[in-house]
Amino acid sequence: MPNNRMDIGRWRGGSCVAFVTRTMNYIIRKMAISDYDEVRRLWGQTEGIEIDESDSRESIGIYLKRNQGFCFVACADDSVVAAVLCGHEGRRGILRHLVVKREYRGKGIARALIAESLSALEKEGIKKCNTFVLDENIEGRRFWEHMGWYVLRDNYRTMQMPTFRDK
């Protein structure tokens, strides 16, 4: 029995993929800086996503320029309804800030966005991809586990240092 998430069709043309499902149509395309306002609004409205100064327009502009072809948005009903940031440092891919607008969840959009990013990384020769999930984001963790992602190690901390410091 077909379900709501089953694709009726999908077409790849130019730089985007169009999906037709039983309940909606959407496209996935590369994220551009002109998407910033809509994507930033989506991040701000979404539980489990932590925003900081690295999510300013300027910083995201730097990120997109450096990671061209790895970051994607999904668009439906004339607006951006989902997004993912992805990039790599030559060894590992890093996927961040995956969000799907609440009304558009459960339709396979996150799965399709992840597939685009992983496929772009694979073409670049990157063998593995990491993501970060807040400990308290229980649903997010369940999602990644359902998608086959595994906790790499739980015995280390991510440590950080600002690049700008008083000299």
Ligand X SMILES: CC(C)(COP(=O)(O)OP(=O)(O)OC[C@H]1O[C@@H](n2cnc3c(N)ncnc32)[C@H](O)[C@@H]1OP(=O)(O)O)[C@@H](O)C(=O)NCCC(=O)NCCS
Binding ligand X (rule: CB under 6 A), the pick from 83, 99, 121, 129 is 99
Of the pair 29, 46, the CB lying nearest ligand X is at 46
Question: Encoding tokens for residue 124?
Answer: 């670049």
Q: Based on CB atoms, which residue is closest to ligand X, 102 or 164?
A: 102
Residue 19 pairs with which residues in a beta bridge? Answer: 10, 26
Q: Return d(Cα 115, Cα 109) in angstroms, integer.
A: 10
Does 71 interact with ligand X (rule: CB under 6 A)?
A: no
Among 22, 92, 105, 128, binds ligand X (CB under 6 A): 105
Give Cα separations from 85 to 61, 116, 148 (angstroms). Answer: 12, 11, 19
Cβ neighbours of residue 109 closer than 8 Å, sequence gap 6 or more: 26, 74, 81, 82, 100
Q: Which of 71, 100, 120, 126 binds ligand X (CB under 6 A)?
A: 100
Q: Indicate the DSSP class of residue 102.
A: G
Residues 106, 119, 124, 128: which binds ligand X (CB under 6 A)? Answer: 106
Shortest Cβ 66–ligand X spacing (Å): 20
Q: Which of 27, 33, 118, 137 binds ligand X (CB under 6 A)?
A: 137
**With 0-12 CB in 10 A as exposed, 13-18 as middle and 19+ as buried, what is 77?**
exposed
Of residues 31-70, those binding ligand X (CB under 6 A) = 46-49
Residues that bind ligand X (CB under 6 A): 46-49, 98-100, 105-111, 133, 137, 139-140, 142-143, 146-147
